[in-house]
Amino acid sequence: MTDARLARQIAFLLEIDGLKSVLRQSHLIDLSRRENDAEHSWHLAMLAVVLGEYATEEVDQAKVIRMLLIHDLVEVYAGDTFLYDTRGVAEQEERERAAADRLFPQLPDDQAVALRRLWDEFEERRTPDARFARALDRVQPLLLNFYTRGASWRAHRVTKAQVLARRQLIEDGSPALWEYIQVMIDEAVRRGYLLP
């Protein structure tokens, strides 16, 4: 390759292909297997397209989609952290920041800075775009768990209290989605998908 910029971009794109091999705890709706991080990111982008009207504040939909597509790229190196793994969650920020420091500089400088800023914005949740993106990141696995009859909730003996402890991220980005999820959580307990 003679174009160094293009070569770096292609190398980065090949590196993040590893996201397809990072398995999450959530199962696909058909229960055939666990979801991978790339599928999760795509599904979140679709949630942003379809559910954008439920954001607490006006958001830049294209920016939210970009955030959702890059937010888990660091998991190529850091791996996925199950939300209800308290030890893993305690170490998650440090692992993911180190992964971001390693991953984004593989791009040309301008793109490395832009994507890292977007990733940092998502993590810090200081903007309406980031708060809505983070809300969707919490909503999607809840939907998958409910519609797989609590597959990963039951496997890990997750309780309603554990799920409710994460409510603020959803409520900050979308009270309307939180209301929907709250009803769904109560129904999950009633059906035995989630421990009371």
Residue 87: pLDDT band with limits 50, 70, 90: confident
* Closest CA relative to residue 118, chosen from 68, 168, 178: 68
How far is it, in rounded angstroms, from Cα 130 to Cα 78? 21
Top CATH class of 4-191 equals mainly alpha
The answer on pLDDT for 86 being more than 60 is: yes
Map out the domains of the chain as residue ranges. Answer: 4-191
Is 9 within 8 Å of 108 (Cβ atoms)?
yes
For 125-143, the pLDDT digits (tens) are 999 999 999 999 999 999 9
Helix, coil or strand: residue 3: coil
**How many residues would you count in the chain?**
196
What is the average per-residue pLDDT within 37-60?
97
